[in-house]
Chain A
């Protein structure tokens, strides 16, 4: 199994290889990310900016390169996150469904093993996630949340940094052929 090093774009779809994960990894990693998102900020408030479920959805979507699988993982993680929050069911579900779908779709075009690409994608999907969630809050919940693009960009960078490290750790959980 060889991974591309210097290029970011794949010349053909056959160059991209589909990563495989054990079932327990597919279930346990999102669950741990949800638990982290719920409990860690209670003890470490400064870690409140982290969006661990989003990073896990992005990683699984990028690595598995299957849009249906990506959107299902995103929907499952998002609905679970909604169920543990005070939001109506579906707010995070719809957002992360789109993130998982687009991540899987982009993963077929890009070299997702590249660290810089992973950083950029993590940053992009974080900003997309926050922006789309803001739109849904205004449209469906009629909540007048502030459009804090600067904060989203800054937190996006931080989440991208954490995501790059997280992705490197999760790469070790892949099933090798």
Chain B
């Protein structure tokens, strides 16, 4: 170093003196932007180094954050995992709340549609410590509940009330071995007795060997037990084995197909219904006739207007029979009275009646006729309206679902997304539209 300075001493001194005077100049002189050169030069000289230092600092900090302090990521991962778990629980809770609301709506709609008077109840306890399949509901004698009342849900029957307390009741489920109820096959009307087996499946006893029952057939309550109203769905046949003198039939109860129910209906006033000819999931869709025109043309009679409203020229006047049961019955009595030359509620029609009307021989609608009971007069059968635009709901190959109100709300459609199922349930309100638990 010393030899270097000795060798280049002159030029070194020259550069030092020149540099010193340049600095002196830079302190005094300003550029066009009124900034002293010493400042411009200093910034110009320092900026690259500052950028370099800043780059190194940023890279160092980034390296430390990304590679050295990774232990924080583990803690953060744990926190996030805990939050995900909490949100999952919250999601399950909210889903259950939605399902509860859907069940309540379905029960309400079922209450409105069934002729039997029912009382909604919630299951609040299971038969803990007991071998019996029982549950406890929050309705008791103060609510009008009595022993041997039927307990149902829209999917089917659940059980019967076996003990009543002031504010709660004990319900014996249909899967209990002590349970028994009268059932009838929907297809062949074969009578039998439903019995619990202690398993999720039930058994139908006392079905005669000659009665034809096949897997997939639906059984309904027969009403013979005086507990369950006739026509309530019970379940679908799972297997049939020949036996002497009775068949061995295993039944999958539709009311228990979704596990133990949480909300049930207690039948406090039974009204028997007809046994459906078709399985609950394969019932035809009813299509109302087209409405009559608002203003009939002048000069036409009411009959002509009704004929025009029917849409079929020359159709008999019976086609205009009102659709309600009371109207039908009124029409039957009116027809019987007219046959005797009398006006129902108005005495003779002008001609002397030859004989009084026989109201014991009224024409009976075959849809409401009880099997085995004859009719004295020819029935005045309303012409069924053929669905024009809406096709019947196709029957699934093997359906264990309860009745569905319309296509798109059946159990097969419940395999779709939960939201779609829930919306379909709320739109249709059918018992078969209950969401999956």
Contacts and interface: CB of A to CB of B under 8 A. Distances in A.
A141 B13 contact: no
Contacts of B21: 75, 78-79, 89-90, 93-94, 97
Interface residues of A, number: 20
A105 to B, nearest CB: 8
Interface stretch (A10-18, A40-48, A64-72, A114-122): A64-72
A67 B14 contact: yes
A176 interface: no
A71 B25 contact: no
A68 B9 contact: yes
A67 B10 contact: yes
A61 to B, nearest CB: 12
A88 B25 contact: yes
B24 A90 contact: yes
A91 B25 contact: yes
B28 A89 contact: yes
A97 B29 contact: no
B22 A68 contact: no
A94 B25 contact: yes
A101 B10 CA distance: 8
A88 B25 CA distance: 6
Interface in A145-175: none
Contacts of B14: 67, 71, 97-98, 101
Interface residues of B, number: 15
B74 interface: no
A88 B28 contact: yes
Contacts of B10: 67-68, 71, 101, 105
B31 interface: yes
Interface in A71-99: 71-72, 75, 78-79, 88-91, 93-94, 97-98
Contact of B22 (A72, A94, A141): A94
A140 interface: yes
B25 A142 contact: no
Contacts of A71: 10, 13-14, 17
B32 interface: yes
Nearest to A89: B24
Interface string B22-60: 101100110110000100000000000000000000000
B18 interface: yes
B38 to A, nearest CB: 12
A149 to B, nearest CB: 25
Nearest to A141: B29
A89 B31 contact: no
B148 to A, nearest CB: 114
A117 B13 CA distance: 27
B32 A142 contact: yes
Nearest to A72: B17
Contacts of B28: 88-90
22 contacts: A67-B13, A67-B14, A68-B9, A71-B13, A72-B17, A75-B21, A78-B21, A79-B21, A88-B24, A88-B25, A89-B21, A89-B25, A90-B21, A90-B22, A90-B24, A91-B25, A94-B25, A97-B14, A98-B18, A101-B14, A105-B10, A140-B29
Given A88-B29, A97-B21, A140-B29, 16 more contacts: A67-B14, A68-B13, A78-B21, A88-B25, A89-B21, A89-B28, A90-B21, A90-B22, A90-B24, A93-B21, A93-B24, A98-B14, A98-B18, A101-B10, A105-B10, A140-B25
Interface of A: 67-68, 71-72, 75, 78-79, 88-91, 93-94, 97-98, 101, 105, 140-142
